[in-house]
Structure 1
């Protein structure tokens, strides 16, 4: 999943303004007890060649996943499919192009806003995944210097989810127009949860769908669904997820309270809904629930950014599915 790390500031970087404003005194101290050194300049391999290599591999694995999804030949698994029908690999391009289009747009939203705020950032590092499902674990961007103030933190954090969401919405409309409605006929298997946005556009495209019928998503529609799922995950207001950046920029120390309120909800959803939420809750505790401070937390966001923050919250509500996967 997308999780761009923000390195902390260095000792001695205290601004003229009071950096302790709006920070919990029981959590943060100034200067923080971080290592006071400038990292060595990264090599050309890590700056350019590694991101390109990882992206090329991810293109292959997502093509493989997309082709395996639409395969109609009797095979014993994804590897058997690749070995026996390598010429069918290109059949996965609608899924791969849509999914990577959403993820690339998301990551470059972060990247370009980092450039605008003069925060050195790496190119997106895509993580290839097994082809049995979608072929990737998403991507990360590494920040190579501290984010100076709340405005920069907000802009960089919110740009990715909004940019990716726009592409996902377009893909969802196209994907639903290519999808079909079929009788359930007593068939059971893995089902996808329906976020509010999917329900709305399905109603626009197909009208009311009887309970005895179901939508078979086209690969473009499935990639769009997964784009919404990833957007919702990243907007959870915890740690250094995009939602954690946005929540800290908006609410300051209250982000920690919000994160602690979200954690038990994930546990409940994991027990009575999708067990994957339990894993996600554990990862948030392991990585960290509270967002680290920025160097200058006193910078005001302004009314425009606050409205964009509310837009991000609306995107989360529209994209979130309490039970994203279930058998039925």
Structure 2
């Protein structure tokens, strides 16, 4: 191996971490008693609240989807050496019909480039979507199709997405858009429905949502305009489902624009672009304009 003279004579102080008295580099991807305890306590609490709302099948299905989604993000962060916390689940009061506010990881440092941004942003929705396909498919097999109109009673009608249509046709042989029959979703299928719905929410291309990461990586220059278009579109949608107003308020808090990555010069590979387009496809097939409506 050849060395240049200036390499041999380079002073140690140029790299402070190599000095004998240099401080230890800050720990990253911290997993210790405290972080594991928080993870376990929040997970157990969310198991309790989701089971209380929908039963064991529902809790198993929904937490599997949320867990796979967030660990997809976490593993992508580790792959790209971007410091992040373990996934944490968020239990919700029993009055909240889902039983959970979802789950999240906290990314502790700026993302280095658009390739890493695409991997981190898309890994969660793609992994969660695949898990939700399995959960919803099995749940539909256990669901009941009735050609008798449901009795008049207060309840919830869950909106139809393109993926629900195709899975219903594939598994049950019927269309969920039909007015002549009713599909009584098994709790596992309902968990799959909420898993798909959460996937679509995260893929809205605004700010630092998963969709915001993906659109910024794909269309950096157009991202601000696309983000504002989708943000403003939430308000007319809110006329049909008031939950969109709540989501718009939350998005406004976290910001509509996406922050830059450290190195903007590194372009996406063809593979990364395909991952981005696959994520856009998932958003299209899972999006529900009117997710939940009351049956009067």
The reply to whether TM is greater than 0.5 is yes
Alpha-carbon spacing, 1:155–1:43, altered in 2? closer, same or farther (3 Å): closer
Superposition pairs for residues 73-84 of structure 1, below 5 Å? none
Matched, 1:94 2:57: yes
For residue 47 of structure 1, report the CA deviation from its aligned partner: 2.6
For residues 170 and 148 of structure 1, the distance between their equivalents in structure 2, rounded to whole angstroms, comes to 34
Q: Could you list the per-position Cα deviations for residues 267-297 of structure 1 after superposition, in whole angstroms to 9, with x for gaps in the alignment?
A: 11101x1111111112212220001111111
> Aligned to 1:299, which of 258, 263, 266?
266
- Deviation of the 1:204 alpha carbon: 2.0
Q: Does 1:309 find its partner at 2:276?
A: yes
Q: Give ranges in structure 1 of 5+ residues lacking alignment.
A: 1-37, 67-91
Q: Deviations over 1:241-292 (max 9, x none)?
A: 1111111111113211101111221111101x11111111122122200011
Cα deviation, 1:62-91, whole Å, max 9, x if unaligned, reads: 12222xxxxxxxxxxxxxxxxxxxxxxxxx
TM-score of the superposed pair, with normalisation by structure 1: 0.77
Distance 1:48 1:278, change over 3 A: same
Tell me the alpha carbon deviations over residues 99-136 of structure 1, each in whole angstroms, 9 at most, x when there is no partner.
11000000000011111111111101111112242221
Structure 2 CA distance for aligned equivalents of residues 208 and 165 of structure 1: 22
Give 1:185 shift: 3.9
Shift of 1:309: 0.7
The reply to whether residue 120 of structure 1 matches residue 83 of structure 2 is yes
**1:45: how far off?**
5.2
- Return 5+ residue gaps in structure 2 as ranges: 1-24
Matches within 5 A, 1:16-35: none
Count of paired positions: 265
| TM-score, normalising length: structure 2 | 0.85
Are the equivalent residues in 1 in contact too, given 2:150–2:182 (CA < 8 A)? no
| Among candidates 149, 152, 163, match of residue 187 of structure 1 | 152
Q: Whose Rg is larger?
A: 2
- The 5 A counterparts of 1:85-164 are 92-132=55-95, 133-164=97-128
1:215 aligned counterpart, secondary structure: strand
Higher relative contact order (Cα pairs below 8 Å, separated by 6+ residues): 1
SS in 1 for 2:182: strand
- The residue correspondences of 1:33-52 to structure 2 (distance < 5 A) are 44=32, 46-52=34-40
User: 1:46 offset after TM fit, Å?
Assistant: 4.5
1:247 partnered with 2:211:
no
Q: Which residue of structure 2 lines up, in the alignment, with residue 56 of structure 1?
A: 44
2:67 and 2:238 mapped to 1: Cα distance? 29
Q: Provide the residue aligned with 1:23 in structure 2.
A: none
Distance (whole Å) between structure 2 residues aligned to residue 167 and residue 40 of structure 1: 32
CA distance in 1 between counterparts of 2:235 and 2:151 reads 31
- Tell which deviates more after alignment, 203-212 or 273-282: 203-212
Q: Say what the alpha-carbon RMSD is for the aligned residues.
A: 1.8
Question: 1:171 is paired with a residue of what secondary structure?
Answer: helix
Range 181-190 or range 217-226, more displaced: 181-190
Task: Out of 187-196 and 45-54, give the one that drifted further.
Answer: 45-54
Structure 1 residue 187: Cα displacement: 2.5
